[in-house]
Amino acid sequence: MRAAIGAAIALFGLVGVAHSNDCSGDIAQEHHPGNFNFLTNSWMEPSGNFYRYVGCVKNLDAVNDLKVDWYIPGPNRSWIPPDEALPNPRLSADGQARPIDGCIEYGNLTDTTVAQFLGDALDEEYSHSARETECKGPVKASNFERPEIQFPSEGWQQEIHTFFPSDLEKEHDTLLELWGKLNIKLIDSEYVIDFSYEAAPYKGRLDGNPNDVLFRPIFPNDRDYFDKAVRSDVGIDAFQKLGPKGSIRYAFSVFFDRWVISPAFFEFSDLGQKPIAYVQFPAFAASSF
């Protein structure tokens, strides 16, 4: 699977290939609160007429997994194994990168600290919100005025890579690694989100079972648009069983030619629909809906 994903990276020019193994970016910070040891970093890179802003966390602990949630830039709720790094790309039309302080939650006791990342003007607004300054969790983008954009002519391609357990009662022994590809594009009168993936136990932790995991996309912003525009046979709230390999398409009607970026997530849950992990991706909502 790693070879296949490598081919996809070469084809699409996906994010942070030179950075991803070690989080080598522009504003590295080491964090050593208590018994935890991790590094945060961030960078911005051009992507067609847009920009990719990337947040990255590397677990510096040689023994223990790191549960982490960097609210604004990501990675969002994930378990990073020892010596692994996890980058998270986000889409923006604003190329004026600036250093921003953002809350990062770590460990099972949901302790928090502040880590600096590169973000755009909207990220800077988020960082001043009460939820962010008090480290209360992610902020809804729809609470802020967002710039209108044209739908990216080349669409959006994103490598999906994350780690999470299939059983929250046995986090270490059931850790899974997921690799996938996200492709968002316009097709005639609709735009589609194609997601394909493979998931397997991480490095010999054989109790991990991708058949014990459900997933679905969640759209915390612009919900009226997504409810009314969806054209897929699969409802946007419907859980799907993950399994070791799969693909799915979500389709939405195109009403207008002006859009806003609407941050969305894939939510991974246990069979009782209790959320386990999240991966962020950019959806698009009609700005005048």
pLDDT in tens, 231-252: 866 677 889 999 999 999 998 8
pLDDT in tens, 154-195: 899 999 999 999 999 999 999 999 999 999 999 888 889 999
C-alpha distances out from residue 245 to 117, 163, 181, 193, 225, Å: 33, 15, 12, 17, 30
In the chain, helix, strand, coil percent, each to 5?
15, 45, 40
Task: Give the range of the structural domain holding residue 94, as residue numbers without chain letter.
Answer: 2-286
What tens-digit pLDDT sequence spans the chain (289 residues)? 333 333 333 333 344 444 456 899 989 999 999 999 999 999 999 998 899 999 999 999 999 999 999 999 999 999 999 999 999 999 999 999 999 999 999 999 889 999 999 999 999 999 998 888 888 877 766 677 888 998 888 899 999 999 999 999 999 999 999 999 999 999 888 889 999 999 999 998 999 999 999 999 999 888 888 888 888 666 778 899 999 999 999 988 887 778 999 999 999 999 999 999 999 999 998 886 6
Q: What is the DSSP string of 117-183?
A: EEE-HHHHHHHTSHHHHTT-----GGGS----BPPPTT-EEEEEEEEEES-GGGTTTTEEEEEEEEE
Q: Read off the tokens for 172.
A: 């270490």
Number of domains in the chain: 1
Closest CA to 2 of 20, 22, 23, 28: 20
Q: What is the DSSP string of 204-268?
A: T-TT--GGGEEEEEE--S-HHHHHHHB--SS-TT--EE--SEEEEEEEEE---S-EEEEEEEEEE
**Entry pTM:** 0.90
Give burial (CB, 10 Å; 0-12/13-18/19+) of 283. Answer: buried
